[in-house]
A = this chain, B = another copy of it.
């Protein structure tokens, strides 16, 4: 485990890639039992080094307060003994998940007599670039190692000391349990421009996963020549159809917006069928006001809101904004065509929902809306690896190649064709 601390600045990112490639070759063929032992050791290492981790985290938290970071973000950054126990326990969950590596799909003898099959294998070297929350350092490492990959981590500068301490704890523990030294590497260099070489190291790195906001994703897709899986950003909609159960709609909208407003599957834009707006908007806007939600809407909506509603005129870019806070755009639509067209134009391909009692409209919505997850009569906040039965997730992909929606262990693997013959040559 190479922890590059700020006092030892990164001068040769190619060395990180090459070391990861070597580690990946060892990890690819480790038996499941050894990988689980490594994860168990990582969990134990976290618990054993709780004091060191908390001390490092305090440095980050103090610095964040000095720079005037909001209380909500400071809360995301802060570690406590209980949170470290939770992080260790999440590693234990990954130990319990089935190992996808080695399974063979579509094995068969083809007409030429060859035995052909697709064997599931690790991706190889996975680089993850993420923001704020330090638990990600551990979550991602556990998932990558369980799937047989070497991982290169680069967290946000706000959590730098915390990440170094966490990576040191799990890295030392992993190595003591049989992992190769560069199985987990953390880049502790806060200068984003220094990432350029890493993002173009096609020789050593198989995939880059940016996990964060639109700015990070744009930077990575613009710079990288390595394949990228975009995750985490998305403008999410919920459409309340004519004939919908309005109590159900209110429950779903409130949950999708307020349960956790800062996560990527939270509701950003509420679309309401014009016919039900007079019946729906007063009640939903009252409850949202009580919960501190600020609405951004045009005059057709504003005129129908509860007197306590907090409302601002909708701005030019509001329908393309992922709010990540207690704000929400609202628009009226004339029906399915209009709702689908709005989502097509402004959606981020993440999570989109309809609340309806019409079987036909539910069917049409799931057919025609193009997103990682499409919902009928449920909150978009369910888009999550655990909720979908994947056990845990590395992130939520919003692109179409390789993996879409939550990425679990299976999505951290690829396959190779294994072909067994007995002297077979191909005829002309």
Q: Which of A167-207 contact B (CB under 8 A)?
A: 202, 206-207
For A417, give its contact among B370, B372, B379 (CB under 8 Å).
B372
Most B Cβ at <10 Å: residue of A108, A114, A119, A202: A114
Q: Which of A79-126 contact B (CB under 8 A)?
A: 106, 108, 110-112, 114, 116, 119, 121, 123-124
Closest to A422 in B: B377
Using known A-B contacts A227-B228, A252-B425, A368-B25, determine if residue A112 contacts B420 with beta carbons closer than 8 Å: no
Q: Quick check: which of A48-56, A155-163, A398-406 contacts chain B, the rest being far away?
A: A398-406
Interface size class of A (residues with CB under 8 A): 35 or more
Using known A-B contacts A124-B370, A225-B221, A366-B418, determine if residue A424 contacts B25 with beta carbons closer than 8 Å: no
Chain A 207-240: CB-based contact to B (< 8 A → 1; otherwise 0) = 1000000000000011001011100000000000
Using known A-B contacts A114-B378, A423-B251, A424-B377, determine if residue A400 contacts B417 with beta carbons closer than 8 Å: no
| Bound Cα distance A227, B114 (Å) | 33
| Chain B residues positioned under 8 Å from A57 (CB to CB) | none
For A416, give its contact among B25, B402, B404, B421 (CB under 8 Å).
B404
A56 to chain B, nearest CB (A): 29
For A377, give its contact among B367, B372, B420 (CB under 8 Å).
B420
Residues A401 and B221 in contact, CB atoms below 8 Å apart: no
Residues A400 and B112 in contact, CB atoms below 8 Å apart: no
Using known A-B contacts A29-B368, A381-B426, A419-B378, determine if residue A402 contacts B402 with beta carbons closer than 8 Å: yes
Using known A-B contacts A400-B207, A416-B404, A423-B251, determine if residue A389 contacts B202 with beta carbons closer than 8 Å: no
Is residue A69 contacting chain B, with contact meaning CB distance below 8 A?
no
Is residue A373 contacting chain B, with contact meaning CB distance below 8 A?
yes
Is residue A2 contacting chain B, with contact meaning CB distance below 8 A?
no
A262 to chain B, nearest CB (A): 14
Q: What are 14 A-B pairs with beta-carbon distances under 8 A?
A: A108-B389, A123-B400, A206-B400, A374-B419, A376-B421, A377-B423, A378-B425, A379-B426, A381-B426, A382-B424, A401-B401, A404-B416, A405-B416, A405-B417
